[in-house]
Amino acid sequence: MKSFDEINERIKQGKAVVLTAEEVIPLAKEKGIKEVAEKVDVVTTATFGPMCSSGVFLNFGHSDPPIKMNRVLLNDVPAYAGLAAVDVYLGASALSEKEGAFYGGGHVIEELVAKKRIMLRAMGCKTDCYPLEHIETTITIDTINQAILCNPRNVYQNYAAATNSSQRTLYTYMGSLLPRFGNVAYSTSGQLSPLINDPEYRTIGIGTRIFLGGGTGYIIGEGTQHNPGQLKDQNGVPLGPAGTLCVKGDLKQMSARYLRGARIKGYGVSLFVGIGIPIPILDEAMAEAVTISDERIYTSIYDYGIPRRSRPSYGRINYHQLRSGYIKLDDKTVPTNPVSSYAMAREIAAILKDWISNGDFFLIQPVQQLPKDVLLKPMDQNI
Amino acid sequence: MQVSKRVILTFPASLAGTPVTYRLVKDYNLVMNILRAKVIPKDEGRLVLELSGEKKDIEAGLIFLKEKGVSIEALAKDIHLDEESCVHCGFCTAVCFQDALSMNPETWKLEFNREKCVLCEQCVDICPMGAIQIKF
């Protein structure tokens, strides 16, 4: 048994043994779980993929005379201004009013991080304290006050794979799904995926310090649509979308390499977010959890050809098979493709490992566990 | 010397029923790979070909086509992958029927095999980063 404090002390002394969630797998095979529990202090996990439920809070500072903004455009992308005078929330999937699906909130966020100049246009409602009605200026991330990345739903614990039984190509957030089961797209980083390595949320909780977009961030709660009750297999891994995280961090420390605006054909705009989460190896149960490999992680395949909330399932498949490039669907051999970047997830897991090994990043024990008893509700359509 | 050349052929409507490409194979000993074809009866036809063979045979074949009234342009178009911008997500590999774009199973980085590319351009709109472009 190790505590967070003991592990942090070892990090401070430069003695902590840190491995990525990929590196720990062969070690466990060779030496066994017991030795992993004894020797390894921290395992790093990561993911890098499109996460639409992302966005930034911005505070522009007050103009002279002051304005109470109620409609705000950043490079022609609308931001939500129903907050205090010069506070807005810019969502990753907001679309440009000029360029439509080619440019949106995700791109503005990437350009802010890259220190590019952004056009700000705002309309206000004239009041005695805020007399200005209209303003046009440019901003950069350095000329404004706060820029806080705050993503209400990231880091899905497993995600369903997608295929298409219909007669036409479907353009979805899972990419292009070719007709007549032309491909199967999958999105989770499998054995590197954070919540799959801590399926009971023992160490990942509210307050956990993480790698977020190239800087440090924090988990501030469960994410929207958090679904801890998802059906699990005998390995304790949910068989479809389950837990989610709400994360927050200072955009000013982040890097445009790990926050990338994206346009997804036929769907819209999103933001690729890079997230890395450290998992302390407190005991043998945690050692067991982090040594899970792609062969033991299953997900369900859903048919996006049926445009309903409950899509028919075409069975379960593990990530080892998905990553082989082809799977069998009934009797047909169907090519598979990822829609999140395993190469970038690997890079992030390695960076987080370096940060911890070098004593630049310490672990935080959650101040509260993520809920395990909430239910995911469908919409109550009652009119 | 064996060489290969990519060309865009535009056929006048009058030639639409004539087996011109057959002659290139039979009389000029050329190997051809049809990259794209658009032939509409009673209208102009367009064919994008990769021709391989002896240099002199390719030259003679192209002269034959010219004499038949086919206009010839060298294909200068190319797919350009901006490696700085690519995040190796895999979106483009879903639509690449030729497997010219594929994920390396070791590094999980995107690989582009120009030899296999038939310039169908499906990947251009699909890339979420706009990292794949047609260059002329």
**How many A-B residue pairs are in contact by the CB < 8 A criterion?**
66
Q: Pick from B84, B85, B93 the residue to mutate for testing the A interface (most A CBs within 10 Å).
A: B93
**pLDDT tens digits along B19-66:** 888 888 889 889 988 877 877 777 788 888 888 888 889 889 889 888
- The CA distances from residue A302 to A176, A197, A242, in Å, are 14, 24, 15
Q: What is the DSSP code string of B28-49?
A: H--EEEEEEEEE-TTS-EEEEE
The pLDDT mean for chain B works out to 87
Q: What is the C-alpha to C-alpha distance for residues B101 and B116, in angstroms, rounded to an integer?
A: 9
For the B2-74 domain, the top CATH level (class) is: alpha beta
Given an 8 Å threshold on Cβ–Cβ distance, is B89 in contact with A264? no
The fold of the B78-135 domain, in CATH, is Alpha-Beta Plaits (3.30.70)
ipTM: 0.94
Q: Do B87 and A272 touch (CB under 8 A)?
A: yes
Return averaged pLDDT per consecutive 10 residues of chain A, 383 residues in all. 96 98 97 97 98 98 98 98 98 96 97 98 96 98 98 96 96 97 96 97 98 98 97 89 97 98 97 98 97 96 92 93 94 96 98 98 98 94 94
Q: In the predicted model, is pLDDT for residue B3 greater than 90?
A: no
Closest CA to A117 of A98, A141, A96: A141
**pLDDT class of B119 with cuts at 50, 70, 90:** confident
Selecting from A50, A178, A324 the residue whose C-beta is nearest the C-beta of B128 gives A50
- Model pLDDT, residue A290: 97
Fold agreement between B2-74 and B78-135: yes
Domain boundaries, chain B: 2-74, 78-135
Q: With contacts defined as CB-CB under 8 Å, which chain B residues touch A339?
A: 89-91, 94
Percent of chain B's residues with pLDDT above 70: 96
Taking the CA of residue A191 and the nearest CA in chain B, the distance in Å comes to 14
Q: How confident is the model at residue B37, as a pLDDT?
A: 81
Query: Out of B87, B90, B130, whose CB is closest to A337?
Result: B90
**Cβ contact A273:A210 at 8 Å:** no
Q: Which of A263, A325, A337 sits opposite B128 (nearest CB)?
A: A263
Q: Do B94 and A49 touch (CB under 8 A)?
A: no
- Spell out which residues of chain A touch residue B103, defining contact as CB-CB under 8 Å: 325, 337-338
Which residue type does A223 have? G
Cβ contacts of B89 on chain A, cutoff 8 Å = 49-50, 272, 338-341
How many residues are present in chain B? 136
Chain B contact for A48, CB < 8 A? yes
Q: Check CB contact under 8 Å for B130 and A323.
A: no
Residue A207 CA: distances (Å) to CA of A12, A47, A220, B85: 20, 19, 6, 33
Q: Tell which residue, A347, A156, A187, has the closest CA to residue A255.
A: A347
Nearest to A258 by CA among A267, A266, A249: A249
Distance CA A63, CA A56 (A): 21
* pLDDT confidence of residue B136: 64
Place of tokens 């002269």: B63
Which H or E element spans position A209?
strand A209-212
DSSP track, A125-192: ---SS--B-EEEEEE-TTTSS-EEEEEEEE--SS--EEE--SSS-EEETTEEE-TTTT-EEE---GGG
Residues listed for chain A:
383
The confidence band for B68, taking pLDDT boundaries of 50, 70 and 90, is confident
Query: What pLDDT shows up at residue B75?
Result: 73
Cis amide bond preceding A65, omega within 30: yes
Contact between A67 and A135 under an 8 Å Cβ cutoff? The reply is: yes
